[in-house]
A = this chain, B = another copy of it.
Amino acid sequence: MIQLLSADGTRTPHEEFDEVLEAGGLATPERLRGYYRDMVMIRAADLEATSLQRQGQLGLWASALGQEAAQIGAGHAARTQDYLVPTYREHGIAWARGIEPWRLLEMFRGISHGGWDPHELRTHPYMIVLGAQAPHAVGYGMGLQRDGAVGTGDLERDTAVLALFGDGASSEGEVAESFTFAASFEAPVVFYSQNNQWAISVPTSVQTRVPLAQRSRGWGIPSVRVDGNDVLAVLGAVRSGLDSARAGEGPRFIESLTYRMAAHTTSDDASRYRPGSEEEEWAEKDPILRLRRHLAGLDEIDEAYVATCEEEAHDLAMQLHHHIHGMKDPDPMIVFDNVYSEPHPIVDAEREAYVQYLSQFEDEEAGR
């Protein structure tokens, strides 16, 4: 496992990744503070979402607590032109791509199935069907190849795809088929799996007996395993992978070892299947704490900055709170929208019949 920051914040050099971080200006103190702030912000949003769920404002919430470095690092490792293909627990990725957190909350509230324009934000919709997004990522990469957007040598234009999935989802056949297509066509795709130790109640050992990183070697796809709670290791690995992919060197696979600190979702009770001691153990490896320790060691963070971040995070949580509490339920007629992009007589007839059906009640109410 590659680690650049140990749990106490100590920095270990890593030839390849340090070069990549350096070249991209990704590890300047300012940037590091930025990652710290991002992680604090997204954690606050995450905690607020859980609380909103408890208040009945969301139907469900899938917390990414503990995976902040794995996501903020990967999100920032991508270049603007890259295309990111998340799962449903990718709030840090979303944040890094400029997707407002309330758009995520809307999905978990149950007012939309997808909250942003994938083209505009270069980020695929969240995906609940495990693994189903992986071939999309490869196909997108095959499109990039056909567009001449790979391997021209222009780092600001050449494009790669980051395909995310969990340790559990790694078992889905569609992920394996994605490896096959990516390897065969040398598609510019980095597969990035956050191994957060659990797929709901099932430990990673049920999905694989060997390190998950080894999986892609069966296709000859090079892989690394990084400490996913170490934002620098993640940044280095993902940037390096994406740059190699955009250069036309084919796919890579990264296993990012992290931990799902909360339950699977707000519907889940993690105490049924894992000991509190495990959670405590991982609390020691907290990605935010770690970066703060590192910054402190560099003398690049002060109490004021920490306080500002916390204040901003608090504000964000409040904003989300108010935004969600003030939210009206959608017009039920949206049910009929966007089923097709071109007119469809059956949908039109059903919409019309439903309008007519509803109008009865209006008549009734008017009649009262």
* CB of A245 to closest CB in B, whole Å: 15
On chain A, which size bracket covers the interface? 20 to 34
0/1 interface trace, chain A 317-360, chain B, CB 8 Å (1 if under): 00000000000000000000000000000000000000000000
| A180 close to B (CB within 8 Å) | yes
0/1 interface trace, chain A 193-214, chain B, CB 8 Å (1 if under): 0000000000001111110001
State the copy count for this chain: 2
| A177 close to B (CB within 8 Å) | yes
* CB of A99 to closest CB in B, whole Å: 30
Q: What residues of B have a CB within 8 angstroms of the CB of A220 in the complex?
A: 208-210, 214
| A219 close to B (CB within 8 Å) | yes
- If the complex has contacts A173-B174, A176-B177, are A218 and B207 also in contact, measured as CB distance less than 8 A? no
| A22 close to B (CB within 8 Å) | no
Contact residues, A203-234 vs B (CB, 8 A): 205-210, 214-220
Q: What residues of B have a CB within 8 angstroms of the CB of A177 in the complex?
A: 171-173, 176
| A313 close to B (CB within 8 Å) | no
The closest CB in chain B to the CB of A215 belongs to B218
User: What CA separation (Å) do A207 and B209 show in the bound complex?
Assistant: 25
| A184 close to B (CB within 8 Å) | yes
Q: What residues of B have a CB within 8 angstroms of the CB of A205 in the complex?
A: 184
Q: What residues of B have a CB within 8 angstroms of the CB of A174 in the complex?
A: 173
| A183 close to B (CB within 8 Å) | yes
User: What CA separation (Å) do A38 and B128 show in the bound complex?
Assistant: 52
* CB of A217 to closest CB in B, whole Å: 5
0/1 interface trace, chain A 105-124, chain B, CB 8 Å (1 if under): 00000000000000000000
Contact between B219 and A208, CB atoms less than 8 A apart = yes
* CB of A134 to closest CB in B, whole Å: 10
For A171, A183, A209, the residue with the greatest tally of chain B CB atoms inside 10 Å of its CB is A209
29 A–B contacts from the bound complex (CB under 8 Å): A171-B177, A171-B180, A172-B173, A172-B177, A173-B173, A173-B174, A173-B176, A173-B177, A175-B176, A176-B176, A180-B207, A180-B208, A183-B208, A183-B209, A183-B210, A184-B205, A184-B207, A184-B208, A208-B219, A209-B219, A209-B220, A210-B219, A214-B220, A215-B219, A216-B218, A217-B217, A217-B218, A218-B218, A218-B219
Instruction: Report A's interface with B, CB cutoff 8 A.
Output: 171-177, 180, 183-184, 205-210, 214-220
